Amino acid sequence: RKKLTEVQFMETMGVRILFDENLNAEIFQWTGRQRVRPWVSLTAKDMCGSRDL
């Protein structure tokens, strides 16, 4: 399994972005310490091209 780097993002909204080695990202919603299913999966290119999450 690929190593993921967690980046805290929009902390007030309970959102976390996990980047893999290829800078692909999965955005998770967190409730407390429990990770919810990813509701967005996108690449770094998509993130740079669109601010609409």
* The pLDDT value given to residue 53: 46
* The pLDDT value given to residue 25: 67
Three-state secondary structure readout of the chain: CCCCEEEEECHHHCEEEEECCCCEEEEEEEECCEECCCCEEEEHHHHHHCCCC
pLDDT tens digit string along 1-53? 566 565 554 454 566 667 667 666 666 665 555 555 555 555 555 555 544 44
